[in-house]
C-alpha cells in the first residue's frame, strides 16, 4: 500500500491561492458590511484557506477514511464546546430575572 504523492504543480497552485486569499481578506476587511458579515466573510476566507492546507498540504484528500474521521471529530468537539457554552451566554438576558 503505497502513499499518494501530490505533484509540485498542485502544491504551487494551492500556495498561490493561499497568498491571494491573504491579500483578499486584508483588502475586504476595510469594507463595512452590514451586521455581522465582516466576521462572516473573514472567517469564510480563513476556513477556505485552512481547508486547502488540510486537504492538500496535509494530504487529507488522499488519506484513509479513519484520518477523515479523526479530523472531523475534532471539529465536531470544538463545535460542541462553542455551541453549548454560547447556549448559556446568548440566552442570559432572555428572562428579566436572570
Q: Interface residues with other proteins (CB under 8 A)?
A: 1, 3, 5-6, 8, 11-12, 14-15, 18-19, 22, 25-26, 29-33, 38-39, 42-43, 45-46, 49-50, 53-54, 56-58, 63-64, 66-67, 70-71, 73-75, 77-78, 80-82, 84-89, 91-92, 94-95, 98
The number of beta carbons lying within 10 Å of the beta carbon of residue 49 is 19
Provide the minimum distance between the beta carbon of 89 and other proteins in the complex, in angstroms, as a whole number. Answer: 6
- Whole-number Å distance between alpha carbons of 14 and 18: 6
Report the candidate in 1, 3, 42 with the shortest Cα–Cα distance to residue 21. Answer: 42
Rounded Cα–Cα distance for residues 45 and 40 (Å)? 9
- Closest approach, Cβ 78 to other proteins, in A, equals 5
Amino acid at each position: 500500500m503505497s502513499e499518494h504523492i501530490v505533484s509540485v504543480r498542485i502544491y504551487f497552485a494551492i500556495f498561490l491561492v493561499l497568498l491571494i486569499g491573504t491579500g483578499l481578506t486584508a483588502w475586504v476587511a476595510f469594507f463595512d458590511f452590514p451586521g455581522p458579515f465582516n466576521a462572516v466573510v473573514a472567517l469564510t476566507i480563513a476556513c477556505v484557506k485552512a481547508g486547502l492546507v488540510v486537504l492538500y498540504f496535509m494530504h487529507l484528500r488522499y488519506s484513509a477514511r479513519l484520518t477523515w474521521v479523526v479530523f472531523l471529530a475534532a471539529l465536531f468537539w470544538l463545535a460542541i464546546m462553542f455551541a453549548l457554552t454560547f447556549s448559556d451566554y446568548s440566552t442570559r438576558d432572555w428572562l428579566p430575572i436572570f
